[in-house]
Structure 1
């Protein structure tokens, strides 16, 4: 039954010491998703540090440097399961200099939890993280107003912060925003309803996460199948078998459908859709399958199979909203490797159109230097065509990464516009 549960990926974001790690620790602790040996180790560490009870933040702050400094400095991933759903959590840092870490952690998220300290309200980091969440097209935002115990569980304070956040969220393309007053430290409205805030009639956080409707977040219309490898068994039984393996990025594929292979433009018909368990009469995102075709045409890694009447854009010039990851700034017209689905090409940044000030949301057309954590709009030219969609309609075929050819470091990630 658990194997059939729907998977929800969510990220947490907020300013330093807003309680992100404590919140995740509370979710794991109260939902009984922690192994006994883990709990014993955390209890021992908490006691050694002089804490009363269990320091819940230690469940996510697993790196040695983090524990020594008492902060989260990397993206910490945790997994847990309830009877209703499976979860992957990306706990991202709150510091300004780790904007790139939030982009990484949020890139595949179905939902984002934005934490706000009830004492401080909406601050610059709240705006920054909300802008990144909207840029990454995260469809569900859950605003958790934390540390309500430190403002005496005051309803007026909750309403003030909710009104302030609605002002900034109205400027962004966020589909669904929900507000929950919580105390991660005390456990109010995290897994169980709070007895201290009977004025709040909504569900606690875990219940919201378990019931979020996420199937609509997958693009079911645009059929896209990036080819990862060609299957050619070397035995007498399957000597004539030729299949194309990969993971469906979006849409639905069926045997008998007319398809086109890009960028070549060759057309054919799907003969079969095969898996380890047998053939399928229908396959959809995000299933991993092998597609065979009626015609023996040239298909290789990096190609894309799409429906004949619904094709992506094929281009060597793309406009991208880019987040620069690397400590070193981008060099003018430097060449990089660009990774787009299973397609890898060489590319150069032709032009920086503008840089975004993500504290004020203003566009800066004067400062065009790509330094670490900078978010900007750029024009990229590739050596060979890419098969692309806008990120707002397809997060898989609408995203790219840039890799330094010399060091092999990922220097940037981008959303195609």
Structure 2
């Protein structure tokens, strides 16, 4: 296995990407091939895969086992959980989320793609674009994943025919464009054999584009959030009660976007109180400026009431606070989401009571039409909702911030995650009708 020096790693950029596709389309095999052929697999890992493959009567190592790490996954032969893998080449570092393909695990795809800058959607060349392919494309569009790779897999089973690849690529690209996906790169591959995964294929001389790894190494990375609206969700209020710092009061959290600097005027939401940053502590040391993803403690000039769940923002760039949220959601729970449903809404570090006031539409994946006022969303449905919260929340549009423009709905009875939501995202749903549900004690 080749090694990469610390200097080389520090000079490379980071790409977060996810894989998606239907069951048996070869996602885990693709990831295994990618890791194996890029020499990102440790010797003991490969030996373990070889032993597991031999015990199942397979002559060649089953590279899918490099990601299907759970015992239940290996026994069933399908991926049932998001498998994260970290690897690097001299050109770039990668965080990879291998997501399940089975319909009942679509919720895991939402998890894996929520922070991704690129999604690889696999299609079996023999089956073409199927409903789950369309669902994954819709989720990628909703989550505003900037780059989508269509990997047409198992080309060896269709004789490496260019016309098969071209037809699938044309159908998928047209569908993804309608959804608003900004960029689709189609690559014909055979993950099992290794064609166009890391090395160019000798079987498809009609294809002149990049391999999967080459595209991953060269695609522009645009996830720099340091220039976005600055946001710090407060996680803890720190008061050490020490003799050395008797008056210390800090507000700790991870910066969700943008940057903060000492002396900057900030506003605490939802209260709307303003003050200035008097100091910033990072890893116990004072700094003048801090930026996205750093976990810091802000010290403020004025002693104002701040608690977990509050949001600290620059005063000149404060989002509006509201109790009425309109969003597009992906419903992930087995139990349906209905009009009048009482839920908990978690936004950043804040959780509040809420009611689903209306479900204006549900997206039909086949033709992207909207089914008006379905009354409920069932597992894996994508739809438009209107929600009323018990307390005002400072929310951004998801188009402006994937971190502070998203939320989840939770069942208040057992803590089950029901729905993942994107504020302001829309498939041009029709105007909602007036809600006439009766008062149930949660009518805010």
Q: List runs of 5+ in structure 1 lacking aligned partners.
A: none
Match of 2:361 in 1: 354
1:392 aligns with 2:399: yes
Match of 1:183 in 2: 190
User: In structure 1, which of residues 258, 262, 267 is the aligned counterpart of residue 269 of structure 2?
Assistant: 262
User: In structure 2, which of residues 237, 240, 245 is the aligned counterpart of residue 230 of structure 1?
Assistant: 237
Shift of 1:371: 1.9
1:257-406 alignment runs, 5 A limit = 257-276=264-283, 278-330=285-337, 332-406=339-413
Judge conservation of contact 2:339–2:359 (CA < 8 Å) in 1.
Answer: no
Greater alpha carbon shift after TM alignment, 276-285 vs 255-264: 276-285
Match of 2:50 in 1: 43
Shift of 1:148: 1.9
The one-character-per-residue Cα deviations of 1:113-158 (angstroms, maximum 9, x if unpaired) are 0112223322322222111110111111111121222233333333
User: In structure 2, which of residues 189, 196, 205 is the aligned counterpart of residue 198 of structure 1?
Assistant: 205
Q: List runs of 5+ in structure 2 lacking aligned partners.
A: 1-5, 425-444
The one-character-per-residue Cα deviations of 1:23-76 (angstroms, maximum 9, x if unpaired) are 001011112222333222211121122222111111122223322222223322
1:137 aligns with 2:144: yes
Which secondary structure does the structure 2 equivalent of 1:386 belong to? strand
1:76 aligns with 2:83: yes
Shift of 1:366: 4.4
Judge conservation of contact 1:128–1:359 (CA < 8 Å) in 2.
Answer: no
**TM-score scaled to structure 2, two decimals?**
0.88
Which secondary structure does the structure 2 equivalent of 1:350 belong to? strand
Greater alpha carbon shift after TM alignment, 322-331 vs 285-294: 322-331
Which secondary structure does the structure 1 equivalent of 2:252 belong to? strand
Give, in whole Å, the separation in 1 of the partners of 2:418 and 2:226: 28
1:8 aligns with 2:28: no
The one-character-per-residue Cα deviations of 1:224-277 (angstroms, maximum 9, x if unpaired) are 111111122221212222221111111221212211111111111122222016
Aligned residues: 417
Match of 2:176 in 1: 169
1:28 aligns with 2:43: no
Which secondary structure does the structure 1 equivalent of 2:376 belong to? coil
Judge conservation of contact 2:329–2:421 (CA < 8 Å) in 1.
Answer: yes
Structure 2 CA distance for partners of 1:33 and 1:277, relative to 1, 3 Å = farther
Match of 1:100 in 2: 107
Give, in whole Å, the separation in 1 of the partners of 2:228 and 2:16: 22
Match of 2:428 in 1: none
Give, in whole Å, the separation in 2 of the partners of 1:261 and 1:337: 22
1:120 aligns with 2:127: yes
The one-character-per-residue Cα deviations of 1:311-336 (angstroms, maximum 9, x if unpaired) are 11201110121222222223552322
Which secondary structure does the structure 2 equivalent of 1:127 belong to? helix
Give, in whole Å, the separation in 2 of the partners of 1:88 and 1:47: 29
User: In structure 1, which of residues 69, 82, 86 is the aligned counterpart of residue 93 of structure 2?
Assistant: 86
